[in-house]
């Protein structure tokens, strides 16, 4: 039997093991405009809003939007199936499929942004949310200030269109609105505010004043491992549930969202869901970014150098596991402040479980992407904390060394591989190539390391020692030497 093409008309034909949206989608109010509809948005915010809809709340639904030329593919996929999509939740023991109906429209705002600008200004819009990746903000990583020269501030960018939409809202006498980042950035609300105000000031100084009084930018911490969709996901859905979905999304069962209770207008009843509403997100986001995200990077570059392609296979490698666990326990955890209501040791154990889930089939290459944007946000805060307190930096230095070595594009046993995408690949690969003759020169990479880190002799010593060991002794030997005195078991292969 041919799989059923996902559509509103075909929902009643889905097999009984799939959970379709049981609500009238035409009755929903598109009160959230979301920019950057990728896998994570659809496995996270869209699923939470879907649960509100299933509970009978019709006040909240999503109008998706893409601002990049490449977003045409997502537009075609979603509009071709009435903006429905399937979330495949892969647990270690069980896999389920749910059709999500909370997205009720999609705008591709390239090359014509008029419809998106109007949507941001619309009276029904209460929240503009975004997932534009860690590298999508026109913000200087070191200072946290607006970078007017960033391509992320250019005409047509997400923030340029947000500013244009807010200007139209101001002119129309519109109500206050919330701009809500769902990206993995420390103080993502503050970064979003700086970016929005910076672009607005260039567009219209009066607008910047209006934003200061009428727009809220809550900080948040988001978490759900969501690999890139593969053809295997589409085949699995067709074979097991007879659904033809052009772009399903697969994810783990675990999810987490902590949001600062700072909204300019209406707020969804998030407290009815498994969402933490708090006055202070910072301890939670520090924990997540410096444990989960830095742990992912720790795993990724080591695994890539060892020729391992899938995350759960990397976690089954005793040396990679020892490196990840040692880094989390001995450097990442010890740099954190207390987290209200959470046991950090238990959180680390859950992370190890999540990384090891064989059903997710997360790609090492996905985790290797955008290192120049991720490491300053995920790893370097831990390094700075330990440098200031005289704490350990051996494993942080080794993580940076694995990234530098990874950028040469050759595995530990000499096999070439393709680097994952990074907007600064030309710059960072040139720095890695220069490090072959002068290892310490890599730390002068201005786009990653600020002046204080570049001049820190302790970091330089940790990094250079690790990099030289990787290049002369091999990665496995280097990991064993670095973790051997920490009570962490390593492999013998």
**Structure pTM?**
0.84
CA 241/CA 122 separation, integer angstroms: 38
Residue 28 sits at φ, ψ, to 5 deg, of -80, 145
Distance (Å, rounded) from C-alpha 456 to C-alpha 40? 36
Please report which confidence band the pLDDT of residue 326 belongs to, taking 50, 70 and 90 as the band edges. very high
pLDDT of 202-261, one tens digit each?
999 999 999 999 999 999 999 999 999 999 999 999 999 999 999 999 999 999 999 999
Residue-wise pLDDT tens digits, 370-380: 999 999 989 99
With a cut of 80, say whether residue 141 has pLDDT above it.
no
> Residue 2's pLDDT is what?
86
Label residues 228-241 b or e (16+ Cβ within 10 Å = b).
ebeeebbebbbeeb
pLDDT at 489: 52
User: Of 74, 139, 149, nearest to 110 (Cα)?
Assistant: 74
> 99-108, 149-158, 432-441, 481-490 — which is least confidently predicted?
481-490
In the chain the domains, ranked by start, together with CATH numbers, are: 4-278 (3.40.50.720), 282-486 (1.10.1040.10)
What pLDDT does 185 receive? Answer: 86
Q: Does residue 493 carry a pLDDT above 60?
A: no
> 261-295: per-residue pLDDT in tens?
999 999 999 999 999 999 999 999 999 999 999 99
Query: What Cα–Cα distance (Å) separates residue 259 from each residue in 139, 217, 220, 345?
Result: 21, 11, 4, 23
15: confidence class by pLDDT, cuts 50, 70, 90: confident
Look up residue 101 and give its two tokens: 């109906």
Q: How many CB atoms lie within 10 A of CB 208?
A: 18
- Phi/psi class of residue 164: alpha, beta or left (left: φ > 0; alpha: ψ in -120 to 50)? alpha
């Amino acid at each position: 039997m041919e799989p059923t093409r996902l559509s509103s008309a075909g929902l009643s034909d889905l097999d009984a093991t799939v959970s379709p949206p049981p609500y009238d989608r035409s009755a929903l109010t598109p009160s959230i405009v979301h920019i950057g509809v990728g896998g994570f948005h659809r496995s996270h915010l869209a699923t939470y809003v879907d649960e509100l809809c299933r509970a009978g709340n019709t006040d909240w639904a999503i109008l998706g939007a893409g601002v990049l030329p490449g977003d045409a593919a997502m537009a075609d996929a979603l509009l071709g199936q009435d903006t429905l999509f399937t979330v495949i939740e892969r647990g270690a023991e069980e896999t389920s499929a749910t059709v999500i109906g909370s997205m009720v429209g999609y705008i591709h705002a390239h090359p014509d942004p008029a419809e998106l600008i109007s949507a941001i200004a619309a009276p029904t819009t209460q929240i503009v949310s975004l997932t534009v990746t860690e590298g999508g903000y026109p913000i200087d990583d070191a200072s946290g200030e607006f970078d007017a020269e960033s391509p992320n501030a250019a005409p047509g960018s997400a923030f340029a269109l947000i500013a244009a939409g807010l200007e139209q809202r101001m002119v129309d006498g519109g109500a206050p609105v919330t701009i809500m980042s769902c990206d993995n950035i420390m103080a993502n609300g503050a970064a979003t505010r700086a970016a929005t105000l910076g672009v607005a000031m260039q567009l219209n100084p009066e607008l910047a004043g209006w934003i200061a009084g009428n727009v809220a930018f809550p900080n948040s911490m988001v978490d759900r491992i969501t690999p890139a969709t593969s053809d295997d996901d589409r085949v699995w859905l067709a074979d097991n549930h007879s659904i033809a979905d052009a772009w399903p999304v697969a994810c783990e069962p675990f999810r987490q969202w902590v949001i600062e209770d700072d909204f300019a207008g209406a707020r969804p009843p998030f407290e009815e869901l498994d969402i933490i509403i708090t006055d202070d997100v910072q301890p939670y986001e520090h924990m997540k970014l410096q444990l989960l995200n830095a742990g992912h990077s720790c795993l990724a570059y080591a695994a890539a150098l060892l020729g391992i392609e899938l995350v759960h296979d990397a976690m089954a490698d005793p040396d990679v596991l020892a490196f990840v666990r040692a880094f989390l326990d001995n450097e990442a955890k010890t740099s954190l402040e207390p987290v209200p209501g959470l046991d950090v040791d238990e959180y680390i154990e859950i992370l190890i479980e999540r990384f090891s889930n064989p059903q997710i089939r997360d790609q090492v290459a996905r985790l290797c992407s955008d290192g120049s944007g991720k490491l300053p946000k995920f790893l370097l805060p831990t390094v700075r904390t330990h440098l200031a307190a005289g704490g350990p930096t051996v494993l942080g230095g080794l993580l940076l060394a694995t990234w530098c070595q990874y950028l040469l594009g050759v595995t530990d046993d000499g096999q070439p591989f393709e680097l994952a995408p990074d907007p600064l690949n030309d710059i960072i690969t040139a720095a890695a190539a220069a490090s072959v003759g002068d290892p310490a020169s890599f730390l002068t990479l201005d786009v990653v390391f600020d002046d204080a880190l570049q001049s820190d002799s302790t970091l330089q010593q940790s990094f250079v020692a690790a990099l030289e060991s990787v290049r002369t002794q091999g990665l496995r030997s280097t990991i064993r030497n670095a973790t051997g005195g920490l009570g962490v078991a390593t492999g013998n292969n």
